[in-house]
Amino acid sequence: MGLLNALLQWQETRHEKKVMKMKDEGLCPACHGKGYNLPISEFYISPDYFHCDACEGSGIYTDWEHSPYYN
């Protein structure tokens, strides 16, 4: 296994652990159950920007799982 593969594997494992944790808590992994995502810059604040598309703003894990953003 090369270094790149090892790195990809590590990232995948981290991602899976995060998703499993969110699943246990029933929260959307994309926004951690908040229903919105924090903007990168305070200069780009808008209602649309805050809204989490992955769970339709519900913050619920199952909504995220059934969204087109899943995987």
By CB under 5 A, name the binding residues for Zn ion: 28, 30-31, 52, 54-55
**Contact present, 28 and 52 (Cβ < 8 Å):** yes
Nearer to Zn ion, 9 or 15 (CB): 15
Nearer to Zn ion, 5 or 46 (CB): 46
Nearest approach, Cβ of residue 28 and Zn ion (Å): 3
- Closest residue by Cα to residue 57 from 44, 42, 69: 69
Nearer to Zn ion, 9 or 31 (CB): 31
